[in-house]
Structure 1
Amino acid sequence: MVKKIWIDCDPGHDDALAILTALAYPEKLKLLGVSTIGGNESLDKVTNNAKNILHLLNAKVPLIPGERGPLVKSLRSAPEAHGESGMDGIEFVENDYPISKTNLIEYWYQLLIDSIEPITMVAIGPLTNLALLLKTYPEIKTKIEAICLMGGGIDHGNITPAAEFNIYVDPEAAQIVYQSGIPIVMAGLDVTEKSYLTRLEIDQLKQHGSISQKIYGLLDFYNKSGRQFGFEVSPMHDLCTIVYLLNPEVFNGKNYSIEIVTDEGLTRGMTLADLRKKPVVKNETFVLLESDREKYVTYLMESLAYFDQKVSMKEGQ
């Protein structure tokens, strides 16, 4: 059975690879659309990045911008990680991929109401858009099969010692989502930092087809940028959500009751798991903890090969 999904993102190098991989398995995943949220960069920049990657892949799905920033505070973006454009390392051609002017929350509501099967929401940026949907239309929860998100970390953070970037940007929104009662799969730093590409694997893309060569540019920049944070390899954070939906057996995880710290101070944005021997279960979340890295990488490589072949066939016509 094909799983219906929607990707809410802030592209972002790893966001781009999540979109690419979702589109490469049409027999397993039906991507209903892509929405954007101010996060890695401003809403305008990340929407432009989404537009460019969708055009590159010859996608035919709606692209709808969401909120410019968090529910409460100003946006904290991350140009130090993704470059000034939010997705440095590749030059896209000018294109007219359509950007919808419709209201995202209203569109989501109608999409969910009209869908016979429940839809899985893939959230790989700050959770502001989803929080607004759940606060505006709480009755829609039964139409969402699950929320598969990249965010948080049980063991540590990255933007601060305690908090991961996506959750830190809008912890108030994250708390709304985590308390929603909708099944949540959390791909946090505990697993995403173990789900990486090596420098050799990145360099090998130069020998493949035209899409792989373009993605090489993205990953070359991303790998070099990551070294300032102490990484020799390149964690593919957001891609974990899509690979999990394609094959949950790539990962091991555990159920935890999670609370989001919204207080000011050193722990703001922390995903606080109840690790006591007898935890008080409130908002149980399935937290991914380990991945089979070789299988993980195979899904990305197969996705790149899929698009390399599509481009080659088109050029041969």
Structure 2
Amino acid sequence: MPLIIDCDPGVDDAFAIILANSLEELDIKAITTVNGNVGIDLTTRNALLLADLLDLDCTVARGAEVPLVKPLREKSNTHGSDGLGGCLNLFPKEIRKELSKEDAVTTIKNILMDSEEKVTIAAVGPLTNIALLLKLYPQVKEKIEVISIMGGAINNGNVTPCSEFNFYEDPEAASIVFNSGVPLIMSGLNLTVNATLTEENLNEMKAIGNKLSEIAVPMISDYISKDAAIHDPCAILAITHPEMFESEDLYVQIDTREGITRGMSYADYRSKNTNPPNCKVLTKMDTTKFREFIVNSIKL
């Protein structure tokens, strides 16, 4: 299954990439970056480092530096100042992977149009690149199998009481994607807060003792010490192992207005709702299986 990962690495983005690489069903065609967990320079550098670490034969392309409308917000320290849980020093100093001369949107467009089969997109950062793609090149819509999104929340947020980080960073982009008519899967906070690891899982990963575990374990240990769930891999498993999840087909919209609800994703559950569902919203998952997949992804 051809896959493009649009991301903002980020520790949980790193684990989404590691997981995708471990799954035989997936053929990673490109990793494209966007401003998000850290700035675009760091998300792009981190994507190159991860592609090197995993010896990925795929394109890495730099994407949007700023949201569509609002200026950048100050970054938190959830992912460390380097975006890698403070573990930049564990990666090789020299980056061998070359950055694509084409930007992320052009890269995605070309892969889609050149592919003989439909391509899946895992979008696990702010949706700026994807919104630009769909607006600039609407002809690509028929080439997309599905966009599996980590973002949003049907109940409560994490940046504000209402809004999840990725959608809050660029609500206008999220709104464009949710009104695009492209098939969507949404792994929101209501699901991904359960994407956690136990101390036993960390010990299992450490015992693997390979090059990847020597980087991955310290990276994820720093991250989960801040009570952060490993959100982004859910969007990968939603593609390859849908049986792990329960879901509802819902009509979802994004609030782009100013105020406390900016970036909020809301679903219409009313019986009188006349809008057709535009998204498969994941509601529950098998956490035990999730943990198994994360641990096993480190064994490569």
The answer to whether 1:17 aligns with 2:15 is yes
Q: Is the 8 A contact 1:82 1:225 kept in 2?
A: no
The answer to whether 1:76 aligns with 2:76 is no
Q: Is the 8 A contact 1:274 1:280 kept in 2?
A: no
SS of 1:259's partner is strand
Q: Which residue in the other structure is 1:278 paired with?
A: 272
Spell out the pairing of 1:203-282 with structure 2 (5 A cutoff).
203-210=203-210, 211-226=212-227, 234-282=228-276
Q: Give me the whole-angstrom Cα distance separating, in 1, the residues matched to 2:74 and 2:80.
A: 11
Q: Is the 8 A contact 1:259 1:283 kept in 2?
A: no
Paired residue type of 1:50: A
Q: Is the 8 A contact 2:205 2:298 kept in 1?
A: no
Q: Give me the whole-angstrom Cα distance separating, in 2, the residues matched to 1:199 and 1:171.
A: 36
Q: Give me the whole-angstrom Cα distance separating, in 1, the residues matched to 2:73 and 2:200.
A: 33
Q: Which residue in the other structure is 1:143 paired with?
A: 143
The answer to whether 1:192 aligns with 2:189 is no
Classify 1:283/1:78 alpha carbon distance in 2 versus 1 (closer, same or farther; 3 Å).
farther
What is the CA deviation profile of residues 242-297 of structure 1, one whole-angstrom value per residue up to 9, with x for unaligned ones? 11112100110101101100000000000011122332325521000100011111
Q: Is the 8 A contact 2:6 2:32 kept in 1?
A: yes
Deviation at 1:80, TM superposition (A): 2.2
Deviation at 1:105, TM superposition (A): 2.0
Q: Is the 8 A contact 1:89 1:220 kept in 2?
A: no
Q: Give me the whole-angstrom Cα distance separating, in 1, the residues matched to 2:176 and 2:276.
A: 13
Q: Identify the match of residue 300 of structure 1 among 270, 287, 294.
A: 294
Name the TM-score, length of structure 1 as normaliser.
Answer: 0.90
Structure 1 segments (4+ residues) deviating >4 Å = none
Deviation at 1:88, TM superposition (A): 2.0
What is the CA deviation profile of residues 136-161 of structure 1, one whole-angstrom value per residue up to 9, with x for unaligned ones? 01121111111001000001100110
Deviation at 1:63, TM superposition (A): 0.4
Q: Give me the whole-angstrom Cα distance separating, in 1, the residues matched to 2:230 and 2:240.
A: 16
Name the TM-score, length of structure 2 as normaliser.
Answer: 0.95
Q: Which residue in the other structure is 2:283 paired with?
A: 289
Q: Give me the whole-angstrom Cα distance separating, in 2, the residues matched to 1:176 and 1:73.
A: 15
SS of 2:85's partner is coil
Deviation at 1:100, TM superposition (A): 1.3
Q: Give me the whole-angstrom Cα distance separating, in 1, the residues matched to 2:296 and 2:208.
A: 12
Q: Is the 8 A contact 1:254 1:289 kept in 2?
A: yes
Deviation at 1:205, TM superposition (A): 2.2
The answer to whether 1:93 aligns with 2:92 is yes
Q: Is the 8 A contact 1:79 1:86 kept in 2?
A: no
Q: Give me the whole-angstrom Cα distance separating, in 2, the residues matched to 1:276 and 1:283.
A: 12
Deviation at 1:66, TM superposition (A): 0.5
Paired residue type of 2:96: D
SS of 1:236's partner is coil
SS of 1:196's partner is coil
What is the CA deviation profile of residues 66-118 of structure 1, one whole-angstrom value per residue up to 9, with x for unaligned ones? 01010001122533211111122322111221111213222222221111101
Classify 1:279/1:199 alpha carbon distance in 2 versus 1 (closer, same or farther; 3 Å).
farther
Q: Which residue in the other structure is 1:229 paired with?
A: none
Q: Give me the whole-angstrom Cα distance separating, in 1, the residues matched to 2:105 and 2:287.
A: 36
Structure 2 unmatched runs, 5+: none
Q: Give me the whole-angstrom Cα distance separating, in 2, the residues matched to 1:28 and 1:20.
A: 14
Classify 1:8/1:77 alpha carbon distance in 2 versus 1 (closer, same or farther; 3 Å).
farther
Paired residue type of 2:12: D
The answer to whether 1:50 aligns with 2:47 is yes
Aligned pair count? Answer: 296
